[in-house]
Amino acid sequence: MNHTIPETQLLDALNWRYATKAFDASKKIAEATWKTLEKTLVLSPSSFGLQPYRFLVVEDPSTRAKLQPHSWNQSQVVDASHYVVMAGRTAMTEAEIDLFLNRVVEVRGIPLESLEGYRGMMYGSLLSPGSDARIPHWAALQVYIALGNLMTSAALLGIDTCAIEGFVPAEYDAILGLKEQGYASVVCCALGYRSAEDKYASAPKVRFPAANLIKTI
């Protein structure tokens, strides 16, 4: 199957996208469209394919209201159609790795024994002495890959987004009970439709020239 789209369509979508500061609280993302966006999160690439993260879609208005004071009081937290808290694992164990390997066996119909080398590689990278301190940062990097995938996909569907790093992770973790689940909040993403009052929607996009950023060696 041909999954390509015109190059101009991709660039137009990325130029149209901006960090939406004001959402129209009356406009909601259609359920079918939202389910598609959820699938883009599931399909995001991650190191070893382990998906060391969870995405909490906060729909409850009272919970959003509790989160807002710990988000620099940004209006997007409560006004956006959907608000996603993206959390990464704080630790990895043999159990998490084996759960993934068993999933590979289930989906691909291959013997578990054929994955012994892969298991050893993951154990060595993620469970070796001293690796505990690296896991939260490693997981956070995977979260940001998923964030980029979500925001690009949303732009192609005409959905506005705003990545939010301006929040207090410890407070979010307490409100959402993340620590007990073995996760920590990393970044958030508000999604919906821009307000007609958002002056940033018409502001020219500011980027350095490609020559400043890309070097061919």
pLDDT given for residue 148 in this prediction:
98
pLDDT given for residue 1 in this prediction:
74
* CATH classification for the domain delimited by 7-92+127-213, as one of 3.40.1160.10, 3.40.109.10, 3.10.310.10, 1.10.3720.10: 3.40.109.10
Q: What distances in angstroms separate CA 13 from CA 80, 120, 160, 163, 199, one per listed residue? A: 20, 42, 10, 16, 19
pLDDT given for residue 2 in this prediction:
84
Q: What is the DSSP string of the chain?
A: ------HHHHHHHHHH--B-S-B-TT----HHHHHHHHHHHHT---GGG---EEEEE---HHHHHHHGGGTTT-THHHHSSEEEEEEEES---HHHHHHHHHHHHHHH---GGGGHHHHHHHHHHHSSTTGGGTHHHHHHHHHHHHHHHHHHHHHHTT-EEEEE--S-HHHHHHHHTHHHHTEEEEEEEEEE-B-TT-GGGGSPP----HHHH----
> Is this model's pTM higher than 0.85 or not?
yes
Token readout for 73 is: 């009081």
Domains of the chain, residue spans = 7-92+127-213
Whole-number CA gyration radius for the chain: 19
User: Which stretches of the chain drop beneath a pLDDT of 70?
Assistant: none
